[in-house]
A and B are shown apart, each in its own frame.
Chain A
Amino acid sequence: MTRRPNPRTTVKDKTIRRVLGFFLLISAVLVFVAVLAVRNITRSVASSDWVNHTHAVILEVDGIFSALQAGDGAMRTYVMSGDARDQAACREAFASVAEHVEVAKALTRGEPAQNAQIVRLETLANKREEFAHDVLGARRADQAETVRTLLAEDAGRGAIREIQRAVEKLKEEEMALLAERDTASYQQAQTTRWTVWSGVAVDFLLLAGVAWLIRDDIAARQRAAAVLQEANEQLEARVSERTAELASANEQLTAENLERRWAIQALEHQLRYNELIVNSVGDLVFVLTKVMNISRINPAVVHLTGREPPELINRPLAQVVRLTEGPGAASAPKVDLLAHALREGRDLRDLPASVEDRRGHKTAVRLTLFPLRDRDKVVGGVVILQIVRPAAPART
């Protein structure tokens, strides 16, 4: 046997499926946004690293030039002072130049154009270091003329200016790269912001959809509950109405029952009264059925015949009562006359008859028959026997 699906359960399942679907979608959007955001953050970090990298290149290039200038200054100071500390400062400054150059070369390993410029700077710096080495050597040897010549030639070459130009050019290119990388970093950050906000907006829209679905489901449930409540109220009203009807019917039945009991009591009373009447009659009374069987007798019959009611009831009347003379008495049985009269619904009055008692002794009686009628139909009869008293002797 197949069960019909409950519409409310179906609606509920459908709503749950939709809500679950929405939540899956929201989760998918969240995961998608998280993946995108993490990827963008990674890219942002990489962009930021490139910005830092460019700054580092600029710092190293600046470091090269600053150290060169410091070395040059220390060299000239040593030329003037001859102080060993100035010589050490010069050596340290050129060592610092070498360090900055090495780092700058490493930083620009992946950028051939910039790397070539660093290599050129390195060449210029090495030349400068060689020049300083020569000047310092000449100064240590107290060759003032050589020192003067070297410095004069150097002033004419403008070596420091050339290095400065190379540094400026490299810095300009690095600044352009810095602007480019900063823009990339900014765009990465913007993309991350847009991704996150778009994801949040889509999730909010989906959440609004879920809220709408839930609200719709709640409204449907409220409507169903209202319908159910109305049906319950109607049912309760019908139950109350039916209960009232049943109570009324019960009352009526109780009344009818009481009336019937009263009627039965009245009938029993009447019957008893009738029996008293019949029993108090001194004549013999037989109540007969339609087929002339005795159905009832009064005490006078028992008294005269000496027979108890069981001996007479349901026995033919002809066993104890016989017509003795009268019209047609010789040609037909007297009882048949009674049966005939009963069938026709006629009365028979004062006919001679005899009653036989238990010992066979016959008593002369006068018989009267009354048919018993129920509406127009004969249902039996009543035979009354009056004992004939012997006539008193005539007075003379």
Chain B
Amino acid sequence: MMDRSRTHRTRRLAAASLAALVATAAAMAPFSLATLAWAGELAATSGASAGALASALPAASTGASGITEPAVGWINTSRLPLLVALVIICGSVIAGILLARSGRPLRIRRLAALDAVDEAIGRATEMGRSVLFVPGIQDMTDIQTVAGVTVLGRVAKTAAEYDARLEVPTSRSIVMAAARETVQAAHFTAGRPETYNESNIFYITDEQFGYVAAVTGKMVREKPAACFYMGAFYAESLLFAENGNSIGAIQIAGTAEPSQLPFFVAACDYTLIGEEFFAASAYLSGERDQLGSVKGQDFGKLFIAAAILIGCALATAAVFIPSLAGAAASFKAHLGG
């Protein structure tokens, strides 16, 4: 009884917070700035002093060199709109997590690429061939590499359960170290610590095409049955994918590099596109907190869509109502455009 009422209170609190956040966003960030700017424009036009209004808006000092110098002090006021947007988006993610913890049912659409992980590793086990995982060519400073390594943990756990050999060639030393920790943890989680072999996760070279040559050569010689490409890729994406095709491997890719997505989509069996890749770790874990963050992310998308629609409406209206032109320009400027 006590738990149910606490859950109910948490749920109400989270829902109220989320509603307040979205309402504040809608009222404050895009609309009120435009309204303030519009009011300022009208006031200036009618001869009234806009000094008070201007002083309320963030002003950047321009040095003699023409470079806009950052404001001194605790807050860089020229970046205030971005801070507001960040607070709203982060707040929506946190609110999503709170909602998930309150026990609210979560529906995340199925991602075919992730549902195929088990199938791919099972195929490799049946064929007696290895599984290849490529965590991208960037270092751990790139969030895509971090996301790739977290997906590696899930893949490694499944590979350990199926007793499939997983190989992870890396292009950065730190990524090798992180991947080793991750795969070892996965083997422990799967209850197969004795099957962990750290020599299966190895460093090749930082040089992009040297790494590509080594990995594609390995693919052609050893013919892994399943290939995972999860991380940041550049020109080597199609080289990997086509080589994987030539050896008959099932290929699952995920990247947030927009320019490489078409190559993976054309050549791989399954592809995680952009934000699907970042949601992959949450999806595979099944943990409520992580799934809640994915839901919260969607509210952030709604906020951005609202800002885009309001900006487009203002810009369109400004064509027909000249007095709105200043407001539209101010809206764009304050949102960093």
Q: Tell me if chain B binds chain A.
A: no
Binding site for B on A (CB under 8 A): none
